[in-house]
Amino acid sequence: MTKKQVGKRFLQIIIVLFGISFFTFGLTYLSPGDPAEIMLTECGNLPTPELLEQTRHDLGLDQPFLVQYGSWLKGVVTGDMGQSYSFKMPVTDKLVSCFWPTLKMSLLALLMMVIISIPLGILAAVYQNKFPDYFVRGITFVGVSVPSFWLGLILLSIFGVQLRWINVAGGSTDFKSMILPALTLALAMSAKYTRQVRSAVLEELHQDYVTGARMRGIKESVILWKHVLPNVMLPLVTLLGLSLGSLLGGTAVVEIIYNWPGMGNMAVKAISCRDYPLVQGYVLWIAILYMCINLLVDLSYTYLDPRLKEDR
Amino acid sequence: MKKVLRIFKENKQFTLFFILGLVVIGVAIFAPQLSPYDPLDAVMTESLQEPSSAHPFGTDKLGRDLLSRVIFGTRTSLIMTLCLVAVIFVIGTFLGVIAGYFGGIVDAVIMRIADMMISFPGLVLAIAIAGMLGPNLVNAVISIAAVSWTKYARLARSMVLKVKKSLYIEAAVVNGTKTWKILLVHVLPNMVTQMVVTAAADIGTMMLELASLSFLGFGATAPTPEWGLMLNEGRTYMAKAPWLMIYPGIAIVICVVVFNMLGDSIRDVLDPRQD
């Protein structure tokens, strides 16, 4: 990517973030239920009309929509996303404290996914239309149809309830209790990724240079490791980046099942108690993360594919 | 008629999954006849019973027959999924066709919104929308539709752009054919196959997403028999009553596998060019 392209991408990211934030803010504005009333009930106060009026005024809820949005946006730029109703702490602090457990788990899941998918995908591609291929394709087919929450429940009941290897109650963030949630996520994601690896390798195997190499009598293993795999890296990195994005989105279900104290778990709780500032903060934060990952993926092309370095 | 029969004969895989798909639809339609009990009928004295001849799948916390609930769950899942796919299909195609045909500012606005939605993990936004609108099945459909229409819009737009350049469209314009007629008669028929193939392949995924939302508590509400919700209710009794989480899960997997395979084979039948 050239500097100009990077600049353009940054501009695009900012526009998208602006749109997303406007959308979520509008959504909370339109949704039924009065935040002031919810907040007071959460605090255990009986909401009298005067108290409601006062709270609304304090929260700035009596102001027009655009004024509210503007002041929220001003806060966001300076790192202040408001106060969470249900956790009684600044949204930014809550997000940061929930972010690390989710990131840790996602990265472990990503690692597991790579370890599972890449060998299987290559195996299936190399033995196209033979037994290993049918076997891998069969597994991945069932794999994409199994809901991650069911997989999580089954694993939890086997390893938690039957074998008692892990604590069913959850809540801790040590490595041992991270394995199962990460494995659940990894298994759920790897069905799709294995298929993508397989088709990427297949596409490369059908290139002319592979046929050429075969004709020159180069060993199949050399063709695969020295020629095909380095070329496959590029699409695989793209797909991996996209997977990390959907990992971040998919953690909610798994975190709920294993009671993992991460962002997805927090978001579901926040939405259930209509903790609007926290929900807005969460959506915006995920959007920022997702787009940064995509940008990094695009930037990594420049290193993986030297052709893109040339300024054209 | 003969042609249809030949398609069935030549595509064994399609025929098999077409029949299985019909079976699933049949289960949904004839749910009242097939289920041994009323899925909402709570008999507290029979709560959490193990699978037996009286209750083949056991009973849940409120003593409701699980088999009946799983059967009625087919109905809920199927109706909601088909509604969802239809909504996305119509909205996505409509916006995509308009964007592609008219171009300019309409195109820019629609596609920028689509870009915005696509550059974002869908489920997160769907959860937020469903949660904010309030948990029920209709809102779950709305929220998933809101984040999924972009795929169809992009596909429709790209195909319209291709068709738009053809001579017969130009001829129609020169002849003074009305725009809506050009779109309906000349543009839509050229792309409908590809769109239907995509929609058919999406049924399984959409079913999973709806079940996920219900599992998280942002979809179906009690006492609706819905598989995701049933799994959520059953997970508290994981140790005591494992059947509560086994059968609804198997039902989801079977349904999704059938519709995924059906989608794949429809693509093979209608569009043999692709692998």
Of these ranges, A21-30, A80-89, A195-204, the one predicted with the greatest mean pLDDT is A195-204
Mean pLDDT score, A225-246: 83
pLDDT of residue A39: 67
3-state secondary structure of A32: coil
pLDDT at A312: 44
Collect all residues with Cβ–Cβ distance below 8 Å to B19 and sequence separation of at least 6: none
By Cβ distance, the residue of A145, A157, A286 closest to B124 is A286
Band of residue A252 on the pLDDT scale cut at 50, 70, 90: confident
Closest to A275 (Cα-Cα) out of A84, A68, A103, A10:
A84
Q: Cα separation of B96 and B161, whole Å?
A: 10
Pair A254, A178: CB distance under 8 Å: no
Q: How far is CA A17 from the centre of its chain?
A: 16
Out of A81-95, A207-221, B74-88, B94-108, least confident range: A81-95
Category of B241 on φ-ψ map: left (φ > 0), alpha (ψ -120 to 50) or beta? beta
Are B139 and B133 in contact by the 8 Å Cβ rule? The answer is yes
> What is the predicted pLDDT for the residue at A88?
78
Partner-chain contact B212 A148, CB within 8 Å: yes
Secondary structure string (H, E, C) spanning B1-49: CHHHHHHHHHCHHHHHHHHHHHHHHHHHHCHHHHCCCCCCCCCHHHCCC
Instruction: Report the gap between the CA of A186 and the closest CA in chain B (Å).
Output: 17
Report d(CA A66, CA B113) in Å as an integer: 20
Q: Which of A144, A268, A283 sits opposite B125 (nearest CB)?
A: A283
> Which residues from B are below 8 Å from A161, CB to CB?
238-239
3-state SS of chain B: helix, strand, coil percent to 5? 75, 0, 25
Left if phi > 0, otherwise alpha if psi is -120 to 50, otherwise beta: which for B240? alpha
- Chosen for mutation from A271, A279, A280 (greatest number of chain B CBs closer than 10 Å) is A271
Instruction: List beta partners, residue A83.
Output: A90
- Are B222 and B62 spatial neighbours (Cβ–Cβ below 8 Å)? no
Mean pLDDT of A171-199: 86
* Size (chain B), residues: 275
Tokens representing residue B214 in the block: 């219900």
With CB atoms and an 8 Å threshold, state whether B120 touches A20: yes
Whether residue A9 contacts residue A310, with contact meaning beta carbons closer than 8 Å, is answered with no
Give the H/E segment covering residue B91.
helix B66-102
Stated pTM of the model: 0.86
> How large a percentage of chain A has pLDDT more than 90?
12
CA distance B65 to B35: 9
Q: Which letter does DSSP use for residue B182 in this model?
A: I
Question: According to the model, what pLDDT value does residue B94 have?
Answer: 93
Locate A7 and state its tokens.
Answer: 């600049």
pLDDT over 80 at B241, yes or no: yes
Structure tokens that stand for A98 in this block? 């929930």
Q: Please confirm whether the linkage preceding B248 is cis (ω < 30° from 0).
A: no
**B160: three-class secondary structure by DSSP:** helix
Q: Do A159 and A152 meet the contact criterion of CB atoms below 8 Å apart?
A: no
A30, A144, A252 member nearest B127 (Cβ) = A252
User: In 3D, which of A81, A281, A117 has the Cα closest to residue A198?
Assistant: A117
Contact B132 A144 (CB under 8 A): no
The answer to whether the Cβ–Cβ distance between B249 and A168 falls below 8 Å is: no
Interchain contact, B119 vs A286, CB within 8 Å: no
> Which residue do the tokens 């959506």 mark?
A283
A242 touches chain B (CB under 8 A): no
Which residues lie below 8 Å from residue B112, measured CB to CB, with a gap of 6+? Answer: A15, A19
- In angstroms, the first-to-last Cα distance of chain B is 27
- Helix residue ranges per DSSP H, chain A: 3-30, 35-43, 49-59, 65-77, 91-126, 131-145, 148-155, 175-205, 208-215, 220-222, 229-258, 263-272, 276-304
C-beta of residue B64 within 8 angstroms of C-beta of residue B41 = yes
Tell me what the mean pLDDT of segment A30-34 comes to. 69
Set of chain B residues whose Cβ sits within 8 Å of the Cβ of A252: 123-124, 127, 216
Band of pLDDT at residue B252, cut at 50, 70 and 90: very high
Higher pLDDT, B43 or B208: B208
Helix (H) or strand (E) holding B97: helix B66-102
A200 touches chain B (CB under 8 A): no
Q: Which residue has the higher pLDDT, B92 or A238?
A: B92
Mutate to test the interface with A, among B116, B138, B206 (most CBs of A within 10 A): B116
Distance separating alpha carbons of residues A232 and A240, to the nearest angstrom: 12
Dump pLDDT digits (tens) for B77-101: 999 999 999 999 999 999 999 999 8
